[in-house]
Amino acid sequence: MNSLLVRSVWLLLLVVGVGQSGWAQSTGVMPEEGAWYGIIARSSGRSLDVANSSTEAGAAAVQWEFNQARSQQWRFVPVMAGSQYYRIESRNSNLCLTLERPDEGAPIVQRPWTGSFYQQWALVPTGPVGSLQLINRGNDKCAALAGADRSNGTAMVGQTPQNRATQQWRLFKLQLNIDATALGFGPVRPLPALNTPANELQPVPTADGKRLYLARTKYAGNMEGNTESGDIWVSTSTDNGETWGPATRLDALNTAQNNGVMSVMDDGKAVLLRGTYTRDAFRDEGVSRAVPGAKGKNALPEPLPIRNYYSVSPANTFFMTPDEKVLLLSIERSDSQGSNDLYVSYALADGTWSEPQTLGNVINSPGYDFAPWLSPDGKTLYFSSYGHAGFGGADIFASNRLDTLGWTSWSVPRNLGGSINGVGFDAYLSLSGDGKHAFFASAAKPDAPADLFRTITGVRQEPPAPDTTAKPVAARILLTGKVLNTKTSQAVQAEVKAVRLGSDMVFNATGRTDAGTGFYQFSLPPGSYRLTATSTGFLTASDTVTVAGSMRRDLLLVPAAVGSKLELPTLIFSQGKYDLLPASYEELNRLARTLADNPAVSIQLEGHTDNVGNPQLNVQLSLERVQEVKRYLVSRGVAANRIATVGYGGAKPRASNAREETRRLNRRVEFTITKD
């Protein structure tokens, strides 16, 4: 009873404490009604999630790296008006967080709301400012992680409350922030001489507009061949960056590991490189300065001596101001909010660099924040993030520096909007020396290879034409996108329909995509719509969108011919098992929608492995994996008799099994259309 009394006193003192940045800012936290939150573990920076992104009752609550998945989005609904207790509801399943049993260490799962005390939670401030415990009404146990680790999949359980970081949580509000009044960007144009079927990333222009550095991964022309590690390439322009010639591999700075140019300094005479170079080896740790073309002892890149530098993440990015006084870092440290955060370091008089200092929790999210780039005037920070609310995978954001003397006061990051960001991967925005041109990397799908694009900055967005009709109508919002062949990522000429959902108004729109680009656009009243794309020779594709601000949504069409085969590249299984991992469900849900839109189509799911291990066990594993995929599709309403399964094991490789780089291409799931 005493603990209940203490909690009641605390709750009476609560004040609204969710700042605009999304993080809880004060000692008390009262969730905003109707808002969705990430619930972030203080001990690990990981998010409360549901195992396998399941929508099934009884699925376990776990921690997972934060990426805004719907299974990581929760809202707090008071159990009755004025109550201090909430049901915590999943956006993905509409089920609520439930303590399964009253005993110590009992699992926490999701279940339909019944009103049980074991489904009711109080938010009690504890630990550092902004942290809280989730106290269960049924037995006074608190929601806790079963282990003090950062591993994806660690279970959530009920424990007796103690002052442990594994029992403390922070709320991160999920809200798309787009400023329609801010200066935007012009038409986005690809760089055709530089883009290949491989992965082009990290465009870095020199101040004079004559050279553009870039990184390529998964490219046969790299020193190490087609692998995940990247090589540095450089392209030149003779018309101030309007066009670019084919890139040349910069072998003087490339190694067998991951290499990249981060920024250019000293009027283009020096470059910032990821990693540390020695005469005998390269370590992908820290950052170095180099002078391209230097000879003799000056040819070896010089590591930056950063005080107390460390990062527990291997994937780090950097930016240095042209005057070489300020270094921005994307690294993961003990004070990071979740995955990589953005930090700052300063050049010191003794030739060293100061210990990295976080840019703060307005800039940094619980997700992966990376690729910082500062505008030439030092006032605007551009960066990429999987944590701040966006359109799909990684998006590009901008924030204004509010204190010209410091680096910890920033405006709330704004998403650059649908003209730059889409449902796939958008990152690594960089600016020309005069700040008038921007370069960035973009992929139509989160798992697809990225290409490089350029655009102009400082474009004032034209307001929509005024409505001159006598009868008032709803305001219109621009919805744009592309229709692409999911197998080739090429544009498809298609008919696109937007049908309004709900009964508040009847509104339908139909358009055709541009033959060359696959581009479409609609001007729609705010609300929810079902988008449908149809084209001869393809299966119909559909998606549901909620239009609240200008946005982009691409639609992917599957070739419809019997015998047409398509790989499902983002299906990921536990090592040596048939359990699907959460990253798989976006692809599976898209396939389920496609089959629902095309009820006459039947498919065969085909599982493949590499040749490592017992061949008979590989056949069995490949079959179990496609059967698991089938079970999920059936749970989404697809008739079981429309899906055949077969496991081939390692019998049908599509690449050599001699090296891991090519062997992994053989571990895959494909589907073949057997009836249309």
Shared domain for 424 and 518, answered yes or no, is: no
Shared domain for 291 and 417, answered yes or no, is: yes
Least confident of 105-114, 213-222, 578-587: 578-587
Q: Per residue in 551-599, pLDDT tens?
A: 888 888 888 788 888 777 667 776 678 877 666 777 787 788 888 878 8
Does the pLDDT at position 181 exceed 80?
A: no
3-state secondary structure 139-205: CCCEEEECCCCCCCCCEEEEECCCCCHHHCEEEEECCCCCCCCCCEECCCEECCCCCCCCEEEEEEE
Compute the distance between CA of residue 249 and CA of residue 235 in angstroms, rounded to an integer: 9
Rounded to the nearest integer, the mean pLDDT of the chain is 86
CA distances from 413 to 323, 338, 366, 457 (A): 25, 17, 14, 18
Q: What is the dihedral of CA 188, 194, 198, 202, to 10 degrees?
A: -70
Cβ neighbours, 10 Å, residue 636: 14
Residue 586's SS3 state is: helix
pLDDT mean over 634-640: 86
Compute the distance between CA of residue 647 and CA of residue 626 in angstroms, rounded to an integer: 7
Does the pLDDT at position 657 exceed 90?
A: no
Compute the distance between CA of residue 512 and CA of residue 25 in angstroms, rounded to an integer: 47
Shared domain for 266 and 237, answered yes or no, is: yes
pLDDT of 542 reads 76
Residue 40's SS3 state is: strand
Least confident of 141-150, 165-174, 177-186: 177-186
pLDDT band at 29 (very low <50, low <70, confident <90, very high): low
Tell me if 179 is assigned to some domain.
no
Shared domain for 114 and 213, answered yes or no, is: no
Does the pLDDT at position 66 exceed 70?
A: yes
Q: Which residues on adjacent β-strands are paired with residue 20?
A: none
Instruction: Find all residues with CB under 8 Å of 239, minimum gap 6, and list them.
Output: none
pLDDT mean over 263-285: 91
Question: How much of the chain, in percent, has pLDDT values that exceed 90?
Answer: 47
* Amino acid at residue number 235: S
Q: Per residue in 398-435, pLDDT tens?
A: 999 998 788 889 999 999 988 899 888 999 999 999 99
Residue 428's SS3 state is: strand
Q: What is the CATH number of the domain that holds 495?
A: 2.60.40.10
Least confident of 67-81, 360-374, 612-626, 659-673: 659-673
pLDDT of 503 reads 52
Does the pLDDT at position 109 exceed 90?
A: yes
Residue 368's Cβ-count burial label (10 Å; 0-12, 13-18, 19+) is: buried
pLDDT band at 609 (very low <50, low <70, confident <90, very high): confident
Q: Per residue in 442-464, pLDDT tens?
A: 998 887 899 999 999 988 765 54
* Amino acid at residue number 668: R
pLDDT of 347 reads 96
Of 173, 192, 211, which residue constitutes the final position of a domain?
173
Shared domain for 163 and 196, answered yes or no, is: no
Of 173, 193, 209, which residue constitutes the final position of a domain?
173
- The tokens for 198 are 């491989």
Domain of 631, in residue numbers: 565-675
Tell me if 469 is assigned to some domain.
no
Q: Per residue in 338-361, pLDDT tens?
A: 889 999 999 999 999 999 999 998
Residue 426's SS3 state is: strand
* DSSP structural state of residue 619: H
How many structural domains compose the chain? 4
Least confident of 123-127, 307-311, 585-589: 585-589
Q: What is the chain's alpha carbon radius of gyration, rounded to the nearest angstrom?
A: 26
Tell me if 471 is assigned to some domain.
no
Does the pLDDT at position 8 exceed 50?
A: no
Shared domain for 286 and 427, answered yes or no, is: yes
Q: What is the CATH number of the domain that holds 637?
A: 3.30.1330.60
Compute the distance between CA of residue 466 and CA of residue 652 in angstroms, rounded to an integer: 60
More reliable by pLDDT, 73 or 15: 73
The gap from C-alpha 290 to its chain's centroid, in whole angstroms, comes to 32
DSSP string over 342-365: EEEEEB-TTS-BPPPEE--TTT--
Tell me if 472 is assigned to some domain.
no
pLDDT mean over 388-402: 89
Cβ neighbours, 10 Å, residue 62: 24
Shared domain for 569 and 551, answered yes or no, is: no
pLDDT of 458 reads 84
pLDDT of 195 reads 95
Tell me if 666 is assigned to some domain.
yes
pLDDT band at 215 (very low <50, low <70, confident <90, very high): very high
E strands of 394-540, at which residues? 395-400, 414-415, 425-431, 437-443, 451-459, 477-485, 495-500, 508-512, 519-524, 527-534
Shared domain for 536 and 597, answered yes or no, is: no
What is the model's pTM? 0.63
pLDDT mean over 617-644: 90
pLDDT of 571 reads 74
CA distances from 549 to 179, 213, 390 (A): 10, 35, 12
Instruction: Supply angle C-alpha 326, 274, 264, rounded to 5.
Output: 50
pLDDT of 27 reads 38
Q: Classify the C-alpha dihedral 239-241-246-252 as positive or negative.
A: positive
Contact between residue 495 and residue 507 where contact means Cβ atoms under 8 Å apart: no
Contact between residue 482 and residue 554 where contact means Cβ atoms under 8 Å apart: yes
Tell me if 50 is assigned to some domain.
yes
Shared domain for 338 and 284, answered yes or no, is: yes
Burial 131-145 (b: 16+ CB within 10 A, else e): bbbbbbbbbbbbbbb
Q: Per residue in 493-546, pLDDT tens?
A: 998 988 877 655 566 778 888 888 899 888 888 888 878 888 888 887 777 788
- The tokens for 4 are 């209940």
- The tokens for 65 are 């790296």
Compute the distance between CA of residue 580 and CA of residue 607 in angstroms, rounded to an integer: 13
pLDDT mean over 179-191: 86
- The tokens for 607 are 């599982």
Compute the distance between CA of residue 245 and CA of residue 269 in angstroms, rounded to an integer: 21
Contact between residue 230 and residue 203 where contact means Cβ atoms under 8 Å apart: no
pLDDT of 410 reads 93
Of 506, 535, 557, which residue constitutes the final position of a domain?
557
Shared domain for 547 and 631, answered yes or no, is: no
E strands of 225-268, at which residues? 231-236, 248-249, 261-265
Q: What is the CATH number of the domain that holds 44?
A: 2.80.10.50
Shared domain for 351 and 453, answered yes or no, is: yes
Shared domain for 506 and 634, answered yes or no, is: no
Tell me if 462 is assigned to some domain.
no
Q: What is the CATH number of the domain that holds 267?
A: 2.120.10.30
Does the pLDDT at position 130 exceed 60?
A: yes
Residue 175's Cβ-count burial label (10 Å; 0-12, 13-18, 19+) is: middle
pLDDT of 28 reads 47
Tell me if 548 is assigned to some domain.
yes
